[in-house]
Structure 1
C-alpha cells in the first residue's frame, strides 16, 4: 500500500505542463495495522478500497478573519515602510542637491544596483501613480489608505478602504480621520542608512 500511495502522490505533483511546480512539501506514510496485506494488481484496485479519514488539517485561509488580519497588517506595514524609506531617500537627495554635494560612491554607480521587488503592469503603475501620495506633517509620515489599495497585492486582500480600516485599525496607527496609516518619519535604525 505504501508504494501505491507514493506513486499516486507523484502522479499528482508531476502533471505534464506543471514541471515548475516542484515536489511535495508534505508526505504521509500509511501502514496497515494487523491483517495480511493483499497485493495490488493495478490502478483499478486502488479505486476499490475505501479509506477512512483519521486526521484532517485545515490550512490557514484568508476567509478566516484572524489570518486575513495577520496577512493584511503585515503587508500594509511592509508597504508603508517601503514608502517611508523611499520618501527619506528623496529628501536626502534633495538636500544633497541643494547643498551641492554628491552622494557617497561606494565603488559602484547607483545605476548598477539591482532593484528587487514587485513588477507592476502599466495599468497597475498608472493606478498607483494617480492614487493619493504619501505626505509628511512634522515628524509623522502618512500613507493614504487609497494609496495602499492601489497596490495589487493589497487590493486583492481588501475590497475597499472601509474594510481595510476596520481590519487594521487596532494594529497600526491611523490618522485622526482614519484615512491614512500614520508612522514616525524617522525610525531608530535610520542612522544606519544615513537618513
Structure 2
C-alpha cells in the first residue's frame, strides 16, 4: 500500500513541477523547441573547441572505469565462501522441501550430547553454508533424501524429510561414513 501511495504522490509532484517549469519558461520567453534548435544550429564557441571535446572524452573514460571498478569490487569473492546477495534460485536447483534454502536449520550431530548441535544452512549451489566443515561439505537432494557429503566426496549422512514434523531424520544407511547415528535436522537456531 505504501508503494502505491509513493507512486501516486511522486506522479502528482512531478506534474506540478512540470507545470511550474513550463510557466517559468513561457514567462521568460524560452520555448524549448526553438532554444534547442538554436543551440544545435549555432553552438557556443567553447563546444567546438578541441580541448573541450578531449575533456569530455577523458571524463567519460574516467566515469566508465570508476563504474567498472565499483562493480568489480562489490562482487562476492566465491573463493572465500562469500554468497551473492539476494535469492539466486535457478532452474537447476533440485526440488527440495519448502524453506530448505531460506529457513534456519539446526543439525543435531551428536544426539547423546545436549551440546552436540550446530546451525547449518544449505546454499542453492549445493554447498553447505553456515556450519560447513570437512564432514558437512556439500549436499544433494534426490529420491526424497537429503544427502550430506564429506569434503572427500564420501557420503556422511542421509536424511529423510518428515513433512508433519518439518524435520529431517537420519536413515542410518550402511553406506554412510558418518560415525554417529540418529542425527536430526530441524528448523531453528542454536
Please say whether Structure 1 and Structure 2 have the same fold, judged by a TM-score greater than 0.5. no
More helix by share: 1
- Give the number of the structure whose alpha-carbon radius of gyration is greater: 2
- If asked which structure has higher relative contact order (CA below 8 Å, sep 6+), I would say 1
> Shorter-normalised TM-score: what interval?
under 0.3
